[in-house]
Amino acid sequence: MTIEDDIAFFERVPTLNMLGRAALRILAIGAESRYVHSGEVLFSAGEAADSAFIVQEGTFTLTVGQGEGGASVVVGRGTLLGELALLTETVRPVTATAKEPSTVLRIPRTLFLKMLEGYPDAARKLRDVIASRADQSTREIYGVRNTLDGRRY
Protein backbone atom coordinates (compact mmCIF):
# COMPACT_ATOMS: atom_id res chain seq x y z
CA MET A 1 0.00 0.00 0.00
CA THR A 2 1.10 3.56 -0.63
CA ILE A 3 1.17 6.40 1.90
CA GLU A 4 -1.97 7.81 0.23
CA ASP A 5 -3.70 4.43 0.66
CA ASP A 6 -2.76 4.42 4.36
CA ILE A 7 -4.05 7.98 4.81
CA ALA A 8 -7.35 7.03 3.15
CA PHE A 9 -7.55 3.99 5.41
CA PHE A 10 -6.87 6.09 8.54
CA GLU A 11 -9.64 8.47 7.46
CA ARG A 12 -12.10 5.59 7.90
CA VAL A 13 -11.03 4.94 11.53
CA PRO A 14 -13.42 6.87 13.82
CA THR A 15 -10.89 8.19 16.35
CA LEU A 16 -8.36 9.16 13.69
CA ASN A 17 -10.62 10.63 11.00
CA MET A 18 -11.02 13.94 12.85
CA LEU A 19 -7.28 14.65 12.85
CA GLY A 20 -7.05 15.85 9.25
CA ARG A 21 -5.02 14.63 6.26
CA ALA A 22 -1.78 16.41 7.17
CA ALA A 23 -1.70 14.83 10.63
CA LEU A 24 -2.69 11.45 9.20
CA ARG A 25 0.17 11.70 6.70
CA ILE A 26 2.62 11.82 9.62
CA LEU A 27 1.01 8.72 11.13
CA ALA A 28 0.99 6.92 7.78
CA ILE A 29 4.67 7.62 7.23
CA GLY A 30 5.64 6.43 10.73
CA ALA A 31 3.22 3.52 11.16
CA GLU A 32 4.71 0.04 11.07
CA SER A 33 2.95 -2.72 9.15
CA ARG A 34 2.94 -6.13 10.84
CA TYR A 35 1.70 -9.50 9.61
CA VAL A 36 0.12 -11.70 12.28
CA HIS A 37 -0.34 -15.43 11.70
CA SER A 38 -3.61 -17.16 12.48
CA GLY A 39 -3.63 -18.06 16.19
CA GLU A 40 -0.77 -15.69 16.99
CA VAL A 41 -1.18 -13.36 19.99
CA LEU A 42 -0.68 -9.72 19.02
CA PHE A 43 -0.59 -8.63 22.68
CA SER A 44 -1.62 -10.05 26.05
CA ALA A 45 -3.68 -8.63 28.89
CA GLY A 46 -1.49 -7.03 31.53
CA GLU A 47 1.37 -6.14 29.16
CA ALA A 48 2.64 -2.57 29.06
CA ALA A 49 1.15 -0.75 26.08
CA ASP A 50 3.31 1.70 24.14
CA SER A 51 1.34 1.74 20.90
CA ALA A 52 -2.01 1.19 19.24
CA PHE A 53 -2.81 -1.13 16.36
CA ILE A 54 -5.28 -0.71 13.54
CA VAL A 55 -6.60 -3.89 11.97
CA GLN A 56 -5.88 -3.50 8.28
CA GLU A 57 -6.86 -7.01 7.16
CA GLY A 58 -8.23 -10.02 9.04
CA THR A 59 -9.93 -10.43 12.41
CA PHE A 60 -8.88 -10.67 16.04
CA THR A 61 -10.50 -12.15 19.12
CA LEU A 62 -10.21 -9.84 22.11
CA THR A 63 -10.42 -11.81 25.35
CA VAL A 64 -10.84 -10.54 28.89
CA GLY A 65 -9.72 -12.92 31.61
CA GLN A 66 -7.96 -16.25 31.45
CA GLY A 67 -8.86 -19.48 29.70
CA GLU A 68 -12.15 -20.43 28.19
CA GLY A 69 -14.13 -18.66 30.92
CA GLY A 70 -13.08 -15.22 29.67
CA ALA A 71 -15.47 -13.00 27.76
CA SER A 72 -14.49 -12.28 24.18
CA VAL A 73 -15.44 -10.26 21.13
CA VAL A 74 -14.28 -10.45 17.52
CA VAL A 75 -13.12 -7.29 15.73
CA GLY A 76 -12.00 -6.68 12.19
CA ARG A 77 -10.87 -4.22 9.57
CA GLY A 78 -10.64 -0.61 10.73
CA THR A 79 -10.70 -1.39 14.45
CA LEU A 80 -8.32 0.68 16.57
CA LEU A 81 -6.86 -1.50 19.33
CA GLY A 82 -5.22 0.18 22.31
CA GLU A 83 -6.44 3.71 21.66
CA LEU A 84 -5.59 4.89 25.18
CA ALA A 85 -1.97 3.75 24.73
CA LEU A 86 -1.55 6.52 22.16
CA LEU A 87 -1.91 9.11 24.90
CA THR A 88 -0.67 7.66 28.16
CA GLU A 89 1.21 4.81 29.79
CA THR A 90 -1.19 1.96 30.40
CA VAL A 91 -1.46 -1.82 30.29
CA ARG A 92 -3.40 -3.95 27.84
CA PRO A 93 -6.84 -4.80 29.29
CA VAL A 94 -7.40 -7.70 26.86
CA THR A 95 -5.52 -10.33 24.88
CA ALA A 96 -5.73 -9.95 21.09
CA THR A 97 -5.37 -13.16 19.07
CA ALA A 98 -5.56 -13.37 15.28
CA LYS A 99 -8.47 -15.54 14.11
CA GLU A 100 -6.99 -15.70 10.62
CA PRO A 101 -3.90 -14.38 8.85
CA SER A 102 -4.06 -10.64 9.53
CA THR A 103 -2.23 -7.38 9.04
CA VAL A 104 -2.10 -4.49 11.49
CA LEU A 105 -0.60 -1.03 11.43
CA ARG A 106 1.25 -0.19 14.65
CA ILE A 107 1.27 3.45 15.74
CA PRO A 108 3.83 4.10 18.50
CA ARG A 109 2.80 6.51 21.28
CA THR A 110 5.91 8.62 20.69
CA LEU A 111 4.94 9.17 17.05
CA PHE A 112 1.34 10.01 17.94
CA LEU A 113 2.34 12.54 20.61
CA LYS A 114 4.86 14.23 18.28
CA MET A 115 2.16 14.46 15.62
CA LEU A 116 -0.18 16.15 18.13
CA GLU A 117 2.56 18.66 19.02
CA GLY A 118 2.86 19.60 15.36
CA TYR A 119 -0.88 19.78 14.75
CA PRO A 120 -2.53 21.62 17.68
CA ASP A 121 -5.90 21.75 15.89
CA ALA A 122 -5.88 17.96 15.71
CA ALA A 123 -4.96 17.81 19.40
CA ARG A 124 -7.90 20.10 20.29
CA LYS A 125 -10.32 17.99 18.25
CA LEU A 126 -9.08 14.84 19.92
CA ARG A 127 -9.34 16.45 23.37
CA ASP A 128 -12.95 17.42 22.65
CA VAL A 129 -13.85 13.88 21.56
CA ILE A 130 -12.21 12.38 24.64
CA ALA A 131 -13.99 14.87 26.91
CA SER A 132 -17.32 14.03 25.26
CA ARG A 133 -16.73 10.30 25.72
CA ALA A 134 -15.76 10.80 29.38
CA ASP A 135 -18.92 12.85 29.94
CA GLN A 136 -21.06 10.16 28.30
CA SER A 137 -19.40 7.42 30.38
CA THR A 138 -20.02 9.40 33.57
CA ARG A 139 -23.71 9.81 32.70
CA GLU A 140 -23.99 6.08 32.02
CA ILE A 141 -22.31 5.21 35.33
CA TYR A 142 -24.67 7.51 37.22
CA GLY A 143 -27.60 5.94 35.38
CA VAL A 144 -26.53 2.47 36.48
CA ARG A 145 -25.93 3.70 40.03
CA ASN A 146 -29.36 5.30 40.17
CA THR A 147 -30.94 2.10 38.87
CA LEU A 148 -29.12 0.01 41.47
CA ASP A 149 -29.92 2.46 44.27
CA GLY A 150 -33.62 2.15 43.38
CA ARG A 151 -33.63 -1.63 43.81
CA ARG A 152 -34.54 -3.37 47.05
CA TYR A 153 -32.55 -6.41 48.09
User: What is the CATH number for 38?
Assistant: 2.60.120.10
Report residue 149's pLDDT band, with 50, 70 and 90 as the boundaries: confident
Q: What mean pLDDT comes out for the span 125-152?
A: 81
Q: Give CA–CA dist 58/114, Å, rounded.
A: 29
Say how many domains are in the chain: 1
> What are the residues whose beta carbons fall under 8 Å from the beta carbon of 6, sequence distance 6 or more?
27, 28, 31, 105
pTM of the model: 0.85
pLDDT bin (cut points 50, 70, 90) of residue 153 is very low
22 lies in which domain range? 3-149
